Structure 1
Amino acid sequence: MVSTLAQTHFVADKLVEIQPPPSVREGMLPSIRRHLFPDGPTAIATLFVLYLVYLCAPPLIRFLFVDAVWTGSDGAACRAEVVGREVGACWAFVGAKLNYFIYGSYPVAERWRVDVFFVALTVGIVWLLWRRAPWKLWGVAYFFLFFPLLSYVMLLGNERLGLAHVPTSLWGGVLVTLVVSTFGIVFSLPLGVLLALGRRSELPLVKYLSVGFIETIRGVPLITVLIMANTMLPLFLPQGITVDRLARPLLGVAIFASAYMAEVIRGGLQAIPKGQFEGAMSLGLSYWQCTSFIILPQALRLVIPGIVNTFIGLFKDTSLVAIVGIFDLIKTVEAARIDPAWAAPTVNYTGYAFAAAFYFVFCWGMSKYSAGVERRLSVEKQR
């Protein structure tokens, strides 16, 4: 009788429609409580940080936006005694000098070539980083082979193509910053891969040369490398042979970044189980086939955060080329702020705030893309 009742009351006689899974989202207040106030020490740290934000954020917002001057033809628009009120950031100065910040002293009639460089760089980055972009291998070839050649011809000029020669001494601003950082990224990654493989090589000569190069470069600051490349490199060249003034820091930045990139990639190579290499060799693959198709793809996947971190550091370190007289964005800001027509107390801070915003946007973008790639690879690995 009990069995009959159990079957009558608890056994379904028809299929139940599939229901959606229960929501795992929590409300705003529970989320804040769990992340910011889970215990006493964390709550104290949260309150301390909020207090710092309370002290720093309002003055910064007032300076950058509320009290800022957005229009004006000279520095008088940014002087408190002329305006009659407290003056914050002088964005009118940035607007007046924006072309100089972007192009430097590049001839106005030829600045369309710089715009072509910016567009070609954007196309290469999107093609290379967009996950569903077609013809991916062609995108890699474009960015690492065709794009550097196109940039060289467009920016420097070629009389056979009807492009007037523009010496690098006239380049400046964002143009130089992107040229130096792009050159460093394009050449440091493949050179870092070769150095990492060389350091793990069983050939003593290749191994010790790679180790010596990496440890020497990593043992000195970047500014030393730049000064050596700028002042000492011409002394080692035969008489009559010179190196372009911009090419010297380009070479120094690429060499410096490649040493750090090599150590990042070597960490990924060491994380690959030995069985992967042995399995590939058992299939009859050569060393280079095994390395190119089996080992390197897995190693690079593991060290994406380290690679992007190196790229971010490289992008920020390009500001050091200003010390050796290269007119990057920082150097153009320093040159523009001493213009007597724009003599105002807040001009200096505004110029550097503009440069800081420029570097932040690019570095933040690289960081967010790296985080997205990590999440996608983590989900694919779990699947």
Structure 2
Amino acid sequence: MAHLEAEYRDFRASVRRFANEEVAPRAAALDREQNPPVEAHAASLRLGLPGLPYPEHLGGGGGDMFAQCVAMEEIARVCASTALGISSSWIMMAVVNFGTEDQQREIVPQMTSGAARCAWGLTEPKGGSDLMAASTKAVRSADGWVLNGTKRFITNGGWAEWYLVFARTSEKRFGLFLVHKNDAGVSFGAPEKKMGMRGSPTSDVILENCVLPESRLLGDPERGAEYIGAALLKSRLQMSAHALGIAAGALDAALRYTSEREQFGQAIAKFQMVRGMVADMAIKVEAGRSVLRHACELLIAGDPEAKLHASIAKVMCSDAAMAVTTDAVQLHGGYGYLEDYAVERMMRDAKVTQIWEGTNQIQRLMIAKEVYEQI
């Protein structure tokens, strides 16, 4: 694991510098005004962050999973919403993995250049964890496919141009479809009013007799579940890094505040109870980072154990985000309860990391299943 960190030390430093200079100053206003991170997304193009995982011949940076997690962690450290807005472009790696050359040439350069953004189209009103219960249907037509259904809680809903939509193509089979926001039959629900991640737009994506040509089908129309499983494995690691970044940012804020705040004639960082809390916060952050690095190594090596360790990383990092941000608010005292301090936003942002990408309860069931099968 140490060699990975050393290899990407300069990259981490450059992303951290970008986050501190371009992202952090806008974070509070983004949350308050509930606008997408337009300026930060544009600024991130100078580092090639929207195109980070894509092959170089398609205009990308060729960054592996560890590079993606480093970038996600460093941006989420100062603004979780912006980290989502920039990394959402990575979703269309599914086109590289499963699409045709024509699809890659059409869509990927839009992601790497920042000309377009994208989004998943997975969760539905009746559920998200049970993906195989999806009711959105794709029916063959003379010219292609017709899609009908509603996708719920879609990150970048209305802001993204492209949507990777999971739809039922037969009684027990699914396909993945490339839907553009300007396609006939596509509309969006009202923006959701959320506890956190307020700088990341979320809405329903509604498909009403949405007619798509055959060229918008990704790969085999009956292998969508297989494709989405592979894509979600990578996404789970990215979102683990996202949660880890929130936790690390809250720890940073707590260290600064407790070093500066004085009570009873000394900095509160000198108090034994405070130091114990800070130690526990640091343990949670470093434990999550270690597990995530290991999962990245397994994925990069093509080891099937990556699936188990990705779930472990997701649980550890998101639980750490919730615990560490809660303690950071506590260490700020009454000030932590005010919007004037970033830890208030971080605590609100942290909660959803335990819910999306498969709830932590679902992840624990998956972990148990994997370890029992190793007996």
* Category of TM-score, reference length = shorter chain: under 0.3
Q: Which has the higher contact order (CA 8 A, sep 6+)?
A: 1
User: Looking at CA atoms only, which structure, 1 or 2, has the larger radius of gyration?
Assistant: 1
TM-score, structure 2 as length reference: 0.27
TM-score, structure 1 as length reference: 0.27
Report which of the two has the higher share of strand: 2
Report which of the two has the higher share of helix: 1
